[in-house]
Structure 1
Amino acid sequence: MKDLTQQSAAGLSHLYRKGKASPLEAMKAVLARTATVNRTINAFCTVDGDAALKAARASERRWQKGKPLSPLDGVPVSIKELVRVKGWPASMGSRLTDKTPADADAPAVARLREAGAIVFAQSTSSEYGHKGVTDSPLHGITRNPWNTGRTPGGSSGGAGAAVAAGLGPLAIGTDGGGSVRIPSSFNGLVGLKATFGRVPAWPPSLTGDLANTGPMARTALDCALMMNAIARPDARDAWALPADETDYARKLDGKLKKLKVGFVLRFGDHPLDIEVAALVTRAARQFEALGCKVEEVEAPFSYAEAGRAFVIHWLTALQRLLRLFPESNHDQFDPSLLAGAKAGLRYSMQDLVEAQVTRRELAIAWNLFFEKYDLLLSPTVAVQPFEVGKNLPDGPDGKGNPLWSPYTSPFNLSRHPAATVPCGTSRDGLPIGLQIAAAHYEDGLVLRAAARYAEAHPLKFPVLPEMM
């Protein structure tokens, strides 16, 4: 039998059904690997082994009786530390929170438990998820298992590193500007930011209606199985969409023939790594072999305008932290978080109103784009995973490059679904991601496109010597 830590959620479910493995065996294998590997990559800040083993035994009994709660019954899943888990500290990656154990599960966590998934670990984040890499004054640096000298991205970097390293096949992340898709790209995963409101969230994020909760896994099928569990309304979310009957796993069925696909290589005047450009362009052309008509096009909206609108939304949200905590404690924030929060104070009410107008115009522009095209393809991130300990990669001029992730945040503003799927590795053996976006509510189509592409171009995950 193959190493259970390298199985997908669907693969584990199949083994459980056939009696070739049990949830207890899988959970023990994941915990054993976690005990060894997490010392190197620092993906988890909490591991609840005793509760996980108890849940695994209960799941095993259900499978033995032929009455699993869902295909996810007995599958290990980790939860980003920005997402509430009952009994675990709601730390937000910050030294300033009081670490009081949460008294209730967030909606996604509750739905996964109802499906029988085993919530066993809390994954690391940047403080309040404020940046696209994963380190914090509370937990230190999280590392990329493909190359431990590189960042796993962020802010859901612990989630991405864990799944890539075999520390459970499923993870829940959050995405306010790309924080599911960036680490999924940097770790060779499939990650989905669904249509806003499709996956309920509670408590409300500091960044409001930019934020999304989403699945991260090695396969589109695993993401689809997670969506079947977590994409259900919850009254605690003011923006939750009404229930629908979508079976996301079934939505993966079918080919992509006759779909019209727009391919955008650049969203504006920003640096683009040459290997990222080459691999993503090749991937876009491979969609033609899948039956699509691919056309290279321009983005329908100025990225400079979209980028300014996003920054204003983001930083004016962060400035609330300065009011939530006494000024005498502000030196305990991550310096980049404190700088961003202070920058948010400089924007006027008029700046925020204009940013909201820009946001509406951008959403309409993408709506019109998706009336013409079924899918959009683009890079997920403009650079390869860069050195740990840095907030920014070096640009062509040797200075920090603030434009390294221009592709993800526009869809947080517009609320359209967007996923990333691995499209190859660079010469340094680092994964590169292809972003796939579509019209509102076409989450199933996005996952089907990711599935069809990944089936034709699978990615082999490394097992590094220090992780064996």
Structure 2
Amino acid sequence: MSQDLTQLTAYELIEAYRTKTLSPVEATMATLKRIGELQPHFNAYRAVGADAALAQAKVSEARWARGAPKGLLDGVPVGFKDLLNVQGFPTRKGSLATPDIIQQADSPPAARLREAGAVILGKTQTAEFGLKGLTETKLGGVTPNAWDRQYVSGGSSGGAAVAAALGLGPLQVGTDGGGSIRNPAAVNGVFGFKPTFGRVAGYPHNGSLFHIGPLTRTVTDAALLLNVIAQPDVRDWQSLPSDICDWRENLDSGVKGLRIAYSRTLGYVKVDPGLAAVVDRAVARLSELGAIVEETDPGFRDPSPIIDAINSERAIRLRSEIGVAGLDLIDPGIRARVEKLERYTLAEVVEANERRTDLAILMRRFHEKYDLLVTPVQSQPVPRLGTPPQTPFAFPFNITQQPGASIPAGFDNNGLPVGLHVVGPQYGDLTVLRLARAFEKLQPFPTPHLDSLSKL
């Protein structure tokens, strides 16, 4: 095949394996070669298991030759954010405070993908403990933007977003505790989906804000990945039953007649005018598709105090994990944040959870009238290295545990990607994916210019 194999989607790879025009070994070798070429410049991966990946690809190739693939994603390369356990790799969480110990068991999404025959490439870079919207750490170094290395990749799933954008594995698994999938997806111009809480099982437990989901170049690939990882797991008592057999079904049914609320600011966020104009144009395209769009705000105040109080649990868990000695090794800004969060009283946490309940009820009532809510992802253009992107539209919907996605919508004045944020009611994941797919068909998602990357 003369085309660049790293630009094939997971869906295209599977079809090529089925028709025997391409083998998993060829696809894996091409991906590993591209990782080797671009890793020195973009630092998307913290660890790559090249030998193990090729061994998995050879076994997959034999299965396809027999016409007996192991599962839906047999032979498709996949990467995992380094907050998730993957057998055979240490889980360093972007920190010098974590031990370099090989994991003996897979997290639920890694287990499901291994069972499906996927080729596990390695671990992608993350912000330290996922506690920053910036993938720049003492352990892992700097992971710059996939479109321009002078700018940030966001976080905390920055490595996964950059890998997806640059063809370093068509399927990437990230996590989102306050925007950590949607933030880097927006600034790197890929599709990032945060499913309803519990849709993808997680273990070890990371609290009630923590969602696991895909970062991909296409919506169809995200749906394909969900077919494998959106499963319950006995280790996660909050995981949801698998109530959808195939996430690709009804994906192309469009958005005609859907009632969509468009909130430019959520009622309290200041948004850069140029960025707002990009989002306005994207929302206008939804009307072209037949959606019924109404400009309105959901009607809540900035919920930052709620998420801070709830995150006090995460701070206490982190101190327990790394100890006093570990605190001396972490980023000073993160240490200061941990110490601040630990000062919340039990009464304040209880009050925050009551306010969380009120917010969740408000949004459930809001979605009785509207099928979806759309907003910007970012409030300001993509910043240069060292400064986290401003994505205040993301975290409220971790509080409410709703599904949300970042869709590539256009570019800011510096030529860097802008995301359109789509939020569905709790358990309304498929409606979010339907809108994303309809928009993608009308305005295909761009990829970084390969000619410029080849000159690095």
Superposed, 1:47-62 pairs within 5 Å as: 47-62=48-63
Look up the equivalent residue of 2:407 and give its one-letter code: V
Aligned to 2:28: 27
Give the C-alpha shift of residue 467 in structure 1.
4.2
Contact 1:259 1:292 in 2 (8 A): yes
Match for 2:421 among 435, 438, 445? 435
Return the alpha-carbon distance in structure 1 between the equivalents of residues 274 and 5 of structure 2: 33
> Equivalent residue of 2:174, what SS?
strand
Aligned to 1:400: none
Superposed, 1:36-75 pairs within 5 Å as: 36-75=37-76
Look up the equivalent residue of 2:368 and give its one-letter code: E
Return the alpha-carbon distance in structure 1 between the equivalents of residues 124 and 378 of structure 2: 22
Contact 2:200 2:229 in 1 (8 A): yes
Q: Tell me, which stretches of 5 or more residues in structure 2 are unaligned? A: none
Tell me which moved more, 226-235 or 252-261.
252-261
Superposed, 1:399-418 pairs within 5 Å as: 404-418=390-404
> Equivalent residue of 1:138, what SS?
coil
> Equivalent residue of 2:285, what SS?
helix
Return the alpha-carbon distance in structure 1 between the equivalents of residues 381 and 289 of structure 2: 26
Return the alpha-carbon distance in structure 2 between the equivalents of residues 220 and 154 of structure 1: 20
Give the C-alpha shift of residue 253 in structure 1.
2.7
Give the C-alpha shift of residue 37 in structure 1.
0.1
Aligned to 1:4: 5
Tell me which moved more, 457-466 or 366-375.
457-466
Aligned to 1:465: 452
Return the alpha-carbon distance in structure 2 between the equivalents of residues 124 and 346 of structure 1: 30
Change (3 A) 1:39 1:284: same
2:100 is the alignment partner of 1:99: yes
Q: 1:134-159: per-residue Cα shift (whole Å, max 9, x none)? A: 11121111111201111111000000
2:424 is the alignment partner of 1:424: no
Aligned to 2:245: 246
Return the alpha-carbon distance in structure 2 between the equivalents of residues 279 and 198 of structure 1: 31
Q: Tell me, which stretches of 5 or more residues in structure 1 are unaligned? A: 394-403
Q: 1:156-201: per-residue Cα shift (whole Å, max 9, x none)? A: 0000011111101110000000101111111111111111111100
Look up the equivalent residue of 1:257 and give its one-letter code: K
Superposed, 1:54-133 pairs within 5 Å as: 54-133=55-134
Q: 1:32-62: per-residue Cα shift (whole Å, max 9, x none)? A: 1111101111110110011111111111122
Give the C-alpha shift of residue 329 in structure 1.
4.0
Give % identity: 40
Return the alpha-carbon distance in structure 2 between the equivalents of residues 204 and 452 of structure 1: 34
Return the alpha-carbon distance in structure 2 between the equivalents of residues 388 and 295 of structure 1: 37
Return the alpha-carbon distance in structure 1 between the equivalents of residues 160 and 420 of structure 2: 19
> Equivalent residue of 1:110, what SS?
helix
Contact 1:74 1:118 in 2 (8 A): yes
Give the C-alpha shift of residue 91 in structure 1.
1.0
Return the alpha-carbon distance in structure 2 between the equivalents of residues 241 and 406 of structure 1: 27
Q: 1:409-449: per-residue Cα shift (whole Å, max 9, x none)? A: 11111011111110112232211111111112111111111
Give the C-alpha shift of residue 315 in structure 1.
4.1
Aligned to 2:223: 224
How many residues end up aligned between the 2 structures? 453
Tell me which moved more, 116-125 or 312-321.
312-321
Superposed, 1:116-155 pairs within 5 Å as: 116-155=117-156
Contact 2:190 2:445 in 1 (8 A): no
Look up the equivalent residue of 1:215 and give its one-letter code: P
Change (3 A) 1:162 1:362: same
2:355 is the alignment partner of 1:358: yes
Aligned to 1:378: 375
Aligned to 1:265: 264
Instruction: Give the TM-score, by structure 1 length.
Output: 0.94
Contact 1:169 1:218 in 2 (8 A): yes
Contact 2:268 2:301 in 1 (8 A): no
Tell me which moved more, 68-77 or 336-345.
68-77
Superposed, 1:196-235 pairs within 5 Å as: 196-205=197-206, 208-235=207-234
Return the alpha-carbon distance in structure 1 between the equivalents of residues 16 and 334 of structure 2: 45
Contact 1:42 1:142 in 2 (8 A): yes
Aligned to 1:345: 342
Contact 1:319 1:340 in 2 (8 A): no
Give the C-alpha shift of residue 115 in structure 1.
1.5
Give the C-alpha shift of residue 289 in structure 1.
1.0
Look up the equivalent residue of 1:185 and give its one-letter code: A
2:368 is the alignment partner of 1:367: no
Contact 1:319 1:342 in 2 (8 A): no
Give the C-alpha shift of residue 277 in structure 1.
0.6
Contact 1:146 1:464 in 2 (8 A): no
> Equivalent residue of 1:294, what SS?
strand
Give the C-alpha shift of residue 316 in structure 1.
4.4
Aligned to 1:275: 274
> Equivalent residue of 1:173, what SS?
strand
Return the alpha-carbon distance in structure 2 between the equivalents of residues 438 and 267 of structure 1: 15
Contact 1:37 1:467 in 2 (8 A): no
